[in-house]
A and B are shown apart, each in its own frame.
Chain A
């Protein structure tokens, strides 16, 4: 059985600095996989490359067996891999429901002429997107603000909106870049619950995050990067006691101490 996302030998260099070095990993359909690592370990570069926002130097990656290597971002999104951004992005002038509906319009099969002529078909497609958008807003807890402009949202609410928007086109895999960074603990719990709910509907998630507790409680598998290479890949329980992971995060001497105390 092939994995949903299959990354083979991804490499990216910046002027001699190796950001990602011959990285291989897989994400299974329906899984929640965490991608962690110290600052500068190549997490963001890795997801920027697979989502098409940065050209990779080497490697190939497949979504559901389809080669999506080197495609521009919009085509990768249409193929079923969407993402959120570390710097939270939203269309501030749009209402929340518009923010969501625009994210579904490229995958519903309506052409430009149909869009201008406004037939029955368009109306039913738009009504379906509106319904899905409102369902998603209810899921993330923003239903009351459906008609409000996105500019009024708080930081945490914008993260929720971004997650909902990344779900609109019914993707197979959603990549979340630091979904809880800088968010208060109550909101972290809420976002965790939202992600579980969305995952229960069948979408797979790849989550980059610095909040290790969040990752450990949410993910079925965790991939650890250091200096652009994968140093561990497995169940969160195993990752927690992996000596290489401990030394990457804590330094060699502290890792030894931590290990002696029995973890």
Chain B
């Protein structure tokens, strides 16, 4: 079988540059298409869906980094999202900070909080981290509701001003129209996914996957699990905090419902259906699952029932998500006896 295998591999490596170019081209086209949508349609509903996709895909992408790649079940993402939202909103309206600075500070604060949670609980176990992250998310909601002097309580902070941003070349961009927010959130999502992609395709991502698959083995190979886990948590917290900061200005309000369990649920479903540890799988499922409730609008009564059915069918067909399905096919291909070469 060895000669046959080698021939197959040569063939594979020979076609790889072509596949790579094709893939790069299709990604570029998809991004262009996404950015062209506001030019093609003024339909605000589509733009709202786009904003929702951009936001949720960043949250799901960060969760995928922590849960899918590093193997840490985390409920803390929504906490980072809301902390970023509150911090950005308060700094912009009370301290007169620019949108950029507010969003960066929100992301930074979320990162620091993430590192504190991670460092304190990961010294015990993965399970401790899951529990602490859940408690943290619940605590965030309570603090947002009850620390009235800081957060203004249950009513939240309504009427956030339309932010503006200095562009290179001395231009000033006032973000008012739905299309503006669409560009802003989609642009940030592009940046966030590029960063996640850079990490997961590097040896850092490889180390995270190694730690998820077999932590003692990884330790015996010199990998420090705590360091990589904290890296994953910090990066996911940073991106969640920043996207939270942008998202609240789109909503024009931040209130305790930004910590709602709905977000946690949605991003978990996105990661699980997409396949934990699969970058493209989770991105694809983020898009599909953002659009799905809308596609099912033809029947208002059965809408959520059908949504549930789709999820169940997806779990039956793809127990490891899209990414897991691809991995299983890869293993099956190698297990199949290779036919003798003619």
Contact = CB atoms under 8 A, between A and B. Distances in A.
B217 A118 contact: no
A135 B207 CA distance: 22
A49 to B, nearest CB: 14
A52 B219 CA distance: 10
A18 B29 CA distance: 67
Interface of A: 51-53, 72-75, 77-78, 82-85, 89-94, 98, 101-103, 105-107, 110, 112, 115-116, 118, 126, 144-145, 147-149, 151-152, 165-166, 168-169
B150 interface: no
Contact of A115 (B204, B220, B335): B204
Nearest to B5: A144
A141 B335 CA distance: 18
A116 B206 contact: no
B213 to A, nearest CB: 5
B334 A106 contact: no
A168 B221 contact: yes
A107 B222 contact: yes
Interface of B: 1-2, 5-6, 9, 12, 198-199, 202-204, 206-207, 209-210, 213-214, 216-225, 231, 277, 327, 330-331, 334-335
A165 B216 CA distance: 13
A77 B334 contact: no
A98 B334 contact: no
A145 B6 CA distance: 9
A91 B216 contact: no
A52 B327 CA distance: 33
Contacts of B231: 112
B207, B210, B221, B334, most chain A CB atoms within 10 A: B221
A85 B220 contact: yes
B213 A92 contact: yes
B217 A85 contact: yes
A169 B221 contact: yes
A91 B219 contact: no
Nearest to B202: A115
Given A106-B222, A118-B202, A168-B221, A89 B214 contact: yes
16 contacts: A74-B221, A82-B220, A93-B209, A94-B210, A106-B221, A106-B222, A106-B224, A110-B203, A116-B202, A147-B12, A148-B334, A149-B327, A165-B217, A165-B221, A166-B220, A169-B221
A78 B224 CA distance: 10
Given A105-B207, A116-B199, A149-B330, A77 B335 contact: no
B331 A149 contact: yes
Contacts of B203: 101-102, 105, 110, 115, 126
B183 to A, nearest CB: 27
A94 B212 CA distance: 12
Question: Which residue among A52, A149, A165 has the maximum number of chain B CB atoms within 10 Å of its CB?
Answer: A149
A151 B334 CA distance: 10
B37 to A, nearest CB: 31
B197 to A, nearest CB: 11
A52 B198 CA distance: 33
A74 B12 CA distance: 36
A80 to B, nearest CB: 10
Given A102-B221, A115-B203, 7 more contacts: A73-B216, A85-B217, A89-B217, A90-B217, A103-B222, A106-B222, A116-B202
A94 B209 contact: yes
Given A93-B209, A112-B204, A152-B335, A147 B222 contact: no
Contacts of A51: 220
Contacts of B223: 74, 102, 105-106
* 6 closest A-B pairs by CB: A106-B222, A103-B221, A73-B219, A77-B222, A89-B217, A144-B2
Given A105-B207, A118-B202, A152-B335, A93 B213 contact: yes
A215 to B, nearest CB: 22
A138 B14 CA distance: 23
Contacts of B221: 74, 77, 82, 102-103, 106, 165, 168-169
B224 A74 contact: yes
Contacts of A152: 331, 334-335
A53 to B, nearest CB: 7
B235 to A, nearest CB: 11
B222 A74 contact: yes
B220 A91 contact: no
B206 A98 contact: yes
A115 B214 CA distance: 22
A169 B216 contact: no
Identify which of B209, B216, B217 gathers the most chain A CB atoms within 10 Å of its CB.
Answer: B217
A253 B296 CA distance: 81
Nearest to B3: A144
Contacts of A115: 202-204
B19 to A, nearest CB: 15
Contacts of B198: 116
Given A103-B221, A149-B330, A152-B334, A91 B214 contact: yes
A31 B204 CA distance: 35
